Amino acid sequence: MADANAGTETATAAGPAEEELAGAGLRLEVDGAVATVTLNRPERRNAMTFATWRGLAAIGRSLPEGVRVVVLRGAGPSFSAGIDLSMFSGGGEGFADGSDAAATDRFIAELQEGYTWLRRPDIVTVAAVHGHVIGGGFQLALACDIRVAADDVKFCMKEPALGLVPDLTGTKPLVEIVGIGRALELCLTARTVQAEEAARLGLAEIVVPRDGLDAAVGGLVESLLAVNPGAAVATKRLLWEAAENTLEQQCAAERREQIGRLRELFGK
């Protein structure tokens, strides 16, 4: 849910300070109904630390009320090279090593909060991806509603190759998008998927030349904002429910949402 105290024009009023975000490798810009989150450690290919994931969660918690679209992008040559590998060599802050299962579970759950808010029905989230989109970066793109990719994109789910599983919410959307067989093949070979295949598999809804990425995202955002806000929220909620519901449940959900729309449009 959006912060109950939100509603000001400044994104960071109730949320993380700009310097805090900068330290986490993030930049947030809010322009009216559009928030843009930039992964901003280009010299490290936007490798992500625990601070990055906590920063993303904090952005989600403090998003101003009027924001309807959130764009995630990466600065420099790549969207993200995934987890900052220096953390494996002890260079990062407190790594949960799994010896205390309950503590490790809480630790990972907190990091996952950096991703789960992107599914909230009150916003539409767009990943604008280019270059390498690896591991935790790939999962971040998968956490978004829509992916727009540049034709130089290279998706890779690297975790199993490093002895890990993808644990930043990515396994469910990956299976939903490409199916279990392809998801297994991609994860267990950790192979790279390039633009043409990504479009074919549905990992990217739109693929454009690298120098057209910003314009394509801008056009998409404009179209998304042109839709009635209440209808957008209700439709997103409905579509995400569809995968879990039976046909009967989904028909009921459609009726329920439509009653809400009719009341708003024509109610007295």
Among 136, 187, 195, 198, binds ligand CAA (CB under 6 A): 136
Question: CB–CB of 149/130 below 8 Å?
Answer: yes
Stretch that binds ligand CAA, among 19-27, 66-74, 127-135, 175-183 (CB under 6 A): 127-135
Q: Which is nearer to ligand CAA, 76 or 260 (CB)?
A: 76
Contact code string over 59-78 relative to ligand CAA, x by CB under 6 A? ------------------xx
d(CA 71, CA 152): 19
Backbone φ, ψ for residue 205 (5° rounding): -75, -30
Question: CB–CB of 143/124 below 8 Å?
Answer: no
Order of all β-strands in the sheet with 192-194 = 132-134, 154-156, 192-194
User: How many angstroms separate the most distant Cα atoms in the chain?
Assistant: 64
d(CA 109, CA 96): 12
Could you write out the three-class secondary structure of 164-179? CCCCCCCHHHHHHHHC
Residue nearest ligand CAA (C-beta atom) = 135
- Tell me how far, at minimum, the Cβ of 33 lies from ligand CAA, in Å: 30
Stretch that binds ligand CAA, among 2-10, 14-22, 83-91, 203-211 (CB under 6 A): 83-91
Q: Which is nearer to ligand CAA, 64 or 137 (CB)?
A: 137
Among 2, 21, 37, 45, binds ligand CAA (CB under 6 A): 45
Is there binding between residue 83 and ligand CAA (CB under 6 A)? yes
Q: How far apart are the first and last CA of the chain?
A: 28
- Tell me how far, at minimum, the Cβ of 88 lies from ligand CAA, in Å: 9
Burial of 10 (0-12, 13-18, 19+ CB in 10 A): exposed
- Tell me how far, at minimum, the Cβ of 93 lies from ligand CAA, in Å: 15
Q: Which is nearer to ligand CAA, 16 or 135 (CB)?
A: 135
Q: Provide the β-strand partners of residue 149.
A: 129, 207
- Tell me how far, at minimum, the Cβ of 249 lies from ligand CAA, in Å: 34
Length of the chain: 268
- Tell me how far, at minimum, the Cβ of 54 lies from ligand CAA, in Å: 14
Question: CB–CB of 64/30 below 8 Å?
Answer: yes
Q: Which letter does DSSP use for residue 157 in this model?
A: -
Among 13, 109, 162, 243, binds ligand CAA (CB under 6 A): 162
Helix (H) or strand (E) segment spanning residue 26: strand 26-31
Stretch that binds ligand CAA, among 7-15, 141-149, 155-163, 197-205 (CB under 6 A): 155-163
Stretch that binds ligand CAA, among 28-36, 41-49, 112-120, 259-267 (CB under 6 A): 41-49
Q: What residues make contact with ligand CAA under the rule CB under 6 A?
A: 44-45, 47, 77-78, 81-86, 132, 134-136, 158-159, 162, 164, 167-168
